[in-house]
Amino acid sequence: MRGRAASLRAGLGWKALAAVAVSGALAVSGCGGNSSDKGKNDKSKVEVFSWWTGPGEADGLNAMKADFEKKNPGTQFINAAIAGGSGTQAQAVLASRLQNRKPPDSFQGHAGAELLDYIKQGQIEPLDSFYDQNNLKSVYPQQLLDQISYQGHIYSVPVNIHRSNMLWYNPAILKDAGITDAPKSVAEFITDLKAVKSKTKKVPLALGAQWTADHLLESVLLGDLGTDGYNALWKPGADWGSAAVTKALTDYAEIIKYTTTEAASTDWQGAAKDVVDGKAAFNIMGDWAYGYFTGPSPNGLGKKDGTDFKYAPSPGTDGTYLWLSDSFTLPKGAPHREGALAWLKEASSKEGQDLFNPKKGSVPARKDADKALYTGYLEYAFAQWNNPSTKLAGSFWHGVNANKRWHNDIDTTVGLFLQNKDVAKLQSGLVSAAKNDAQ
């Protein structure tokens, strides 16, 4: 993992973001943990805000909560999680709370450009002193520290690493369709989708709520453009109007033809479940799906890897880790600041991450995790993430390389496309979003 920091930063554009002039709202950033006296020494409780309510992730949060309560017997843990895939609903509620100066004690955010808005508005504290006091800089990969830093200060505590570009598929349906292996390219994927539809009458590609269409888009862009081409899209002056992007968007439009018609009413769990239940052949979703598939009931499905489902990198992306990281922050003016710091200590600990990640379906952000705990898909993911030859690309949908405004404008553009199916309008919208929002 070391030695890849330069390529990671180049692909994400975070270093460029760091050069943006910031107003006086960032005056707090130099101190590494100053706050108002209100709640400064209060450890009586901690309100932790997240969107971890689904199967696997909820189990992982509960495991960390139990460990936190054991280590902090006098602190009441308040789980303020709000349901909704990818945090769309939770982030809207959070924005309102922060605007009204009623922050939770700590909130979940995706490491990377997603946090820039909070930083620029002076809504979260830097955590330099916290990292120093807990000797964290030596246990986190340097490129991850670079990614969560802004103007030399660290602003979040990563709990995990997820891979966005994963293809989950039902081997029995593929066999019935005459497909012998997972598709290796976007072109092969389209051919396989057609075969599933014509030969099995099953749903070729399960899709959920609109955000899962955004999620699908990033994998198709990566699959057609390659790692360098995809990463270039997030740099200043990127050409979203190129012929290569047109080809990728045309493929995306073709793939969308083979998705479920009732997608808008279903979140990612329902779409993923269709694959292991034998209703759909494919689903492109992050590796949190693994925890859902294999976890025990009532939150998990108790399915068997290799029998009920198989996995592969999304078509055309083998060798590239389209990554994201869940992290926690320290809001400025946290009501129970000492409780928040205790929670951040749990989230950053080896024990906490090893309790959380096997259930969540992710690998730890720390370098010293217990490898024996990561089996099946997670053993594969662990090896891929730590392989120095693996290329890195940041998930735009999950906050790594698109700020909130850009993220929202892409979502609006995709939403319109799902209604009109017009590739030219889709590309024009993406060009405008990049021009207006890239920093």
Q: What is the 3-state secondary structure (H, E, C) of 161-175?
A: EEECCEEEECHHHHH
Asked if 274 and 420 sit in the same domain, the reply is yes
- For residues 298 and 194, which has the higher predicted lDDT (pLDDT)? 194
Domain count for the chain, please give it.
2
363, 378, 394: which is the final residue of a domain?
394
Asked if 389 and 415 sit in the same domain, the reply is no
The mean-pLDDT minimum among 24-28, 275-279, 306-310 falls in: 24-28
Where does 295-396 have alpha helices with state H?
337-348, 350-360, 377-386
Asked if 89 and 54 sit in the same domain, the reply is yes
**Mean pLDDT, residues 164-191:** 98
First to last CA, the chain: 27
| C-beta separation of 44 from 38 below 8 A | no
Where does 185-336 have alpha helices with state H?
186-200, 210-232, 243-256, 268-276, 288-294
Asked if 126 and 21 sit in the same domain, the reply is yes
Task: Tell me the per-residue pLDDT of 354-400, one tens digit each, with 9 for 90 and over.
Answer: 999 988 889 999 989 999 999 999 999 999 988 888 888 889 999 88
Asked if 200 and 116 sit in the same domain, the reply is no
**pLDDT on residue 439:** 55
**Mean pLDDT, residues 312-316:** 98
**pLDDT on residue 355:** 97
Asked if 405 and 381 sit in the same domain, the reply is no
The pLDDT confidence band at residue 291, using thresholds 50, 70 and 90, is confident
Domain that residue 119 falls in: 5-162+326-394
**pLDDT on residue 280:** 97
Asked if 417 and 278 sit in the same domain, the reply is yes
Per-residue CA distances from 289 to 85, 231, 362 (Å): 12, 25, 9
The pLDDT confidence band at residue 438, using thresholds 50, 70 and 90, is low
**Mean pLDDT, residues 84-95:** 80
**Mean pLDDT, residues 287-299:** 86
Amino acid at 85: G
Asked if 231 and 252 sit in the same domain, the reply is yes
The pLDDT confidence band at residue 336, using thresholds 50, 70 and 90, is very high
Residue 34, pLDDT above cutoff 80? no
Q: What is the 3-state secondary structure (H, E, C) of 245-264?
A: HHHHHHHHHHHHCCECCCHH
Supply the mean pLDDT for the chain. Answer: 88
The mean-pLDDT minimum among 13-17, 130-134, 240-244, 267-271 falls in: 13-17
Asked if 357 and 241 sit in the same domain, the reply is no
The mean-pLDDT minimum among 13-27, 195-209, 273-287 falls in: 13-27
Asked if 380 and 404 sit in the same domain, the reply is no
Residue 85, pLDDT above cutoff 80? no
Asked if 281 and 133 sit in the same domain, the reply is no
Asked if 171 and 256 sit in the same domain, the reply is yes
**Mean pLDDT, residues 7-13:** 37
- Look up the CATH number of the domain holding residue 270: 3.40.190.10
Residue 348, pLDDT above cutoff 70? yes
**pLDDT on residue 382:** 92
| Share of residues in the chain with pLDDT > 90 (%) | 70
Spatial separation of the C-alpha atoms in residues 294 and 367, rounded to whole Å: 25
| C-beta separation of 144 from 3 below 8 A | no
Task: Tell me the per-residue pLDDT of 138-154, one tens digit each, with 9 for 90 and over.
Answer: 998 887 787 678 889 99
Q: What is the pTM (predicted TM-score) of this model? A: 0.81
Dihedral in degrees, nearest 10, Cα atoms 52, 56, 59, 63: -100
379, 394, 409: which is the final residue of a domain?
394
394, 412, 427: which is the final residue of a domain?
394
